[in-house]
Amino acid sequence: MTKTLSPHLSRLRRHRRVRAAVIGAANRPRLAVYRSSKHLQAQLINDETQTTLVAVSDVGVQKSGNKTERATALGKQLAEQALAKKISRVVFDRGGYRYHGRVKALADAARAAGLQF
């Protein structure tokens, strides 16, 4: 009999597997995405010094629009803040989530606003 994992544990296992290969550095930080049922957060992390360079969240920022539209606005906001700090190249860490929906909307908006990954 096979035991199935909960969706949360499955996501954590996928995230660990992805993080084994994705490492952020000073010249190319990691764009980490966290998605909850209501909100979305993203940050640029330098894993060498364990510091957060840029962090954005849609908590209390924009109430209008659906969650995907808020994710698009968040990706644009993240890219603007990163470019202001002279960060143009990043490594994308989807956090174990599928590259679909809000995660994809955030990534596409960040690319369109000037980030390269």
The pLDDT tens digits of the residues spanning 52-88 come to: 999 999 987 767 789 999 999 999 999 999 999 999 9
User: Is pLDDT of 3 > 80?
Assistant: no
Residue 1 is predicted with a pLDDT of: 56
User: What's phi and psi for 86, nearest 5 deg?
Assistant: 65, 35
Could you tell me the pTM of the whole model? 0.89
CATH top class, domain 7-112? alpha beta
Are residues 91 and 22 in contact, defined by beta-carbon separation less than 8 angstroms? Answer: yes
Q: Which residues pair with 46 in a beta bridge?
A: 51
pLDDT digits (tens, 9 = 90+) for 15-50: 898 888 888 888 999 999 999 999 999 999 999 999
Using CA atoms, how far residue 106 sits from 11, 50, 65, 97, 102, in Å, is: 19, 23, 14, 13, 6
CB atoms within 10 A of CB 43: 18
Joined together, the tokens standing for residue 68 give: 């995907």
- pLDDT of 2 over the 70 cut: no
Residue 13 has pLDDT above 80, yes or no: yes
